[in-house]
Amino acid sequence: MAAMTSGTARVERQISLPFKQAFRIALRNITIRVGRAMITGAGTMLGIAFLMSVFASNLMLTARGVEPSPAQAQKAAWLVAMSLLVSFVGITNSMLMSVTERYKEIGTFKCLGALDNFIVKMFLIESGLLGFFGSLIGSIVGLLFVIVTNLGFVGAFNWALALLYMLACIVLGTLLSVGAALPPAIRAAKMQAVDAMRTEV
Amino acid sequence: MSSIATAEVQNGAATTPAVSNADDYRASEHIVRVRGVKRVYKIGEVQVHALRGIDLDIKRGEFMAIMGPSGSGKSTLFNMVGGLDKPSDGTVFIDEVDIAQLDAGELAWLRCRKIGYIFQTFNLIPVMTALENVTLPMIFAGAGVDEQMEKGKRLLETVGLGDRLHNKPGQLSGGQQQRVAIARALANDPAIILADEPTGNLDQKVGEEIIQMLKRLNKESGVTIITATHDDKMYKRADRVSIVIDGEIQAVVPPEQLGDNTVDGFLAQLKEEKDAAAIRDLETAAEVTATNAAITGEG
């Protein structure tokens, strides 16, 4: 009789969650909570828009034939640092919120057989998507802003370099977003199922 | 006093014929075995003994109700049995596997395949439709999409929600949500369904429906149902009722033995009997001492 086999032989290990399924759930979470997602994404968007506009206006100075003075270059670097800080704080805050308000859900996921890494995976995909689209829109907005305010000099504008900056902004925004979501996601995933469900937010 | 439970198990084993080996017998008969389980919580400097040594056996296909006042350790015991919490001392065997020995991956597998959970507050995922909620455990189990859909629909039809597949929990009544939760609990054909006060947030009539549904599942598919409950209607449908007070099992009795008593009534009666027994014991002891003294005196 099979029931007589003793020990852990009859327990298998939980398999990993396929990326496609995790992606579907994460996408679902975003599309359903559009308002919430917009707020989270807006944090990234604003920061990246700021950053991109700083890059683009530097390019625009070159297009105008103005060689930035050391003081101006320093100011630009300061602005870049500030905008990075703004996005980082904004993203971390909204990610923290969106994880904590879902503790109960996370507990339920665990009761249904989710491994810790399923939960981390789902949150990272979600934040990655938000970060990607947020920074995509943000970099477009930032670039457009500079172009619209300097329409006369667009002819000499270095589009290739601008595109490269845009790409850098999107990668950076996505990475920041995922990086900011990682600590709260891991903390949530490590919670005992019972504790997570008991948490009232 | 856990001895009642243990005694019953031993009696049961003794009356079952033709089992070559007692261990093999237990392996096939009991889906859950709890042995000397203690659970101590540390709250600051204070140690709280939620469970003080529990022995309990639950048979395959049994409908077991766990009853007790709040703070009795009922929920802790329930979580132990469900593999949601690990004992400080003692062992919990689920299908003959000591859950303390399992790592996270194995425990997740156990929760996914062996146990279905039903909660007082339903705990459906609010952003998912009824069907998606039911298929979620199947995704975790690695089932194919077609299989998920087909089985998910069938399960929802079983619980009478065939026309609500694409409704979100917010669009469903409490009773309907709990039925989705039952369908979800059945997703991976578990051996055990754990229901934590499943009727606690429902009105009388709807609660009755849920109880009947659980009872039907228990009879038809032979799934073991373990429920923590305060509901009088619930425990009366159970095969056996475990009564937990102060972290100990006071009695494991068939529901008839509780008669028409309410839970609280029975608990009060039990306490009275226990106190009376304690007094009797004292008196007997006194008599024995007196008799002994007399005998010694005569001798």
User: Over its length of 299 residues, how does chain B's per-residue pLDDT go in tens digits?
Assistant: 444 444 444 444 444 444 444 454 445 588 999 999 999 988 888 888 889 999 999 999 999 999 888 788 888 888 888 888 888 999 999 988 898 888 888 888 999 999 999 998 999 998 889 999 999 999 888 888 899 999 999 999 999 999 999 999 999 999 999 999 999 999 999 999 999 889 988 998 999 999 999 999 999 999 999 998 878 888 888 999 998 888 889 888 888 877 666 667 777 777 787 788 888 888 887 877 777 777 776 65
Name the domain count of chain A.
Answer: 1
Residue A136: inside a domain, yes or no?
yes
Per-residue b or e along A143-155, where b marks 16 or more CB atoms closer than 10 Å to that residue's CB: bebbbeebeebee
| Owning domain of residue A107 | 36-198
Let me know: does A101 contact A184? Beta carbons within 8 Å. Answer: no
Among B238, B189, B221, smallest CA distance to B62 is for: B238
Q: Which of B101, B137, B139 sits opposite A8 (nearest CB)?
A: B101
Using a pLDDT cut of 70, give the percent of chain A over it: 94
According to DSSP, the residues that pair with B249 across neighbouring strands are B244
Using a CB-CB cut-off of 8 Å, the residues of chain B touching A1 are 24, 28
Pairing of strands B46-59, B192-196: unpaired
Residues of chain A with Cβ-Cβ distance to B101 below 8 Å are 8
CA–CA min distance B84, chain A (Å):
6
Q: CA-to-CA distance for A101 and A104, rounded, in angstroms?
A: 8
Q: Give B80-103 pLDDT, tens digit per residue.
A: 888 888 889 999 999 888 988 888
Measured between beta carbons, the chain B residues lying within 8 angstroms of A32 are: 127
Alpha-carbon torsion B14, B18, B23, B28, what sign? negative
Asked whether residue A120 is domain-assigned, the answer is: yes
Q: In this structure, is residue A12 part of a structural domain?
A: no
Task: Tell me the pLDDT band of A177, cut-offs 50, 70 and 90.
Answer: confident
Mean pLDDT of A4-16: 59
- pLDDT in the model for residue B26: 46
Q: Choose among B41, B226, B219: nearest CA to B116.
A: B226
Closest CA to B169 of B116, B120, B123: B123
Chain B residue with minimal CA distance to A115? B108
Q: Which two tokens stand for residue B150?
A: 């087909």
* CA B201 to mean position of chain CA atoms: 18
Residue A8, in any domain of the structure: no
Q: Which of B262, B276, B267, B272 is nearest to B72 (CA)?
A: B267
Map residue A17 onto helix, strand or coil: coil
pLDDT tens digits, one per residue of A31-87:
877 887 888 788 888 888 988 998 888 888 888 888 778 888 888 888 888 877 877
Q: Which of A126-130, A191-195, B29-33 has the lowest mean pLDDT?
A: A191-195
Instruction: Tell me the DSSP string of B236-258.
Output: HHSSEEEEEETTEEEEEE-GGGG
In a domain, A17, yes or no: no
CB A199 within 8 A of CB A192: no
How many A/B residue pairs have CB atoms within 8 Å?
Answer: 97
Worst-scoring range by mean pLDDT, A101-105, A187-191, A195-199? A195-199
List b or e across B262-287, with b for residues whose CB sees 16 or more CB atoms inside 10 angstroms.
Answer: ebeebbeebeeeeeeeeeeeeeeeee
Q: What does the alpha-carbon distance between residue B12 and residue B82 come to, in Å, rounded to a whole number?
A: 24
Mean pLDDT score, A144-152: 89
- Supply the pLDDT for residue B263: 66
Contact (CB<8Å) A105/B139: no
Asked if the Cβ–Cβ distance from B110 to A21 is below 8 Å, we say: no
Residue A65 lies in a domain: yes
Between CA B280 and CA A42 the distance in angstroms is 74
Q: Which residues of B touch A186 (CB under 8 A)?
A: none
Q: Which of A28, A111, A186, A198 to mutate to test the interface with B (most CBs of B within 10 A)?
A: A111
Where is pLDDT greater, at B50 or A198? B50
Distance from CA of B157 to the nearest CA of A (A): 21
In a domain, A158, yes or no: yes
Closest residue in A to B190 (Cα) is A112
Average pLDDT over chain A, rounded to whole? 83
Q: Which residues contact B9 (CB under 8 A, 6 or more apart)?
A: B57
pLDDT band at residue A171 under the 50/70/90 scheme: very high
- Among candidate residues B27, B26, B28, the one with its CA nearest the CA of residue B6: B26
Q: Which strands, in side-by-side order, build the sheet including B63-67?
A: B115-118, B192-196, B224-228, B63-67, B240-245, B248-253
For A14, the closest of B105, B117, B136 (CB atoms) is B105
pLDDT at residue B297, rounded to an integer = 66
- ipTM attached to this prediction: 0.75
Tell me whether residues B123 and A104 touch, CB distance under 8 A.
Answer: yes
Tell me if A77 is assigned to some domain. yes
The greatest distance separating any two alpha carbons of chain B, rounded to the nearest whole angstrom, comes to: 88
Residue in the structure block whose two tokens are 């429920």: B227
